[in-house]
Structure 1
């Protein structure tokens, strides 16, 4: 979600072999706060510390990179990016076991489960 709402395009996710790679360019950030507002997991926050400002020559020096590792789908075993527990508890006050199982399924297995078909 953060990538989609970033007005400056400072956030990028790419598929990797072991997981989704995150790149965050601080030089592009305009401190609008949309990423932290819409972040369902609370993983991002915006600072008012303007000392992070830098000269144009140092534009690409302030970059953060990370990786979210894949986990196997509990239905078919395909690699998926696991849902964050914070997201589940933010959406539902008391998630049921069925809802908790959805977080470990790929989209195809979630569709099968939602229509009552057996999940592999």
Structure 2
């Protein structure tokens, strides 16, 4: 299997693309840069972790991805409050980030269990 076959990678990549498209015309470059970087960090760290040779490294990068999901959720909340993101889109993105966080948590838990068995 390759990382491109992982559902969590595919879904996080799709969310990242949606965000880049949504903020394409945003003139608040600071906010736009921060939220798109957070979104980009999720699938990037999933891929990098997958390609690492040790389970410990894999878990570390997937933990980074999970942290980026939390950062992204925060920025979605803020973007909604300042009217950069409408409620419907925010709800979809928050639901997706919640699911991504759970998926990553399960993967990390599995790695921890494997490391404990060693």
* TM-score over 0.5 for the pair: no
TM-score, normalising length: structure 2: 0.26
TM-score, normalising length: structure 1: 0.26
Of Structure 1 and Structure 2, which has the larger fraction of its residues in helix?
A: 2
Could you say which structure has the greater relative contact order, defined with CA pairs below 8 angstroms and 6 or more residues apart?
2
Please tell me whether Structure 1 or Structure 2 has the larger radius of gyration of its CA atoms. 1
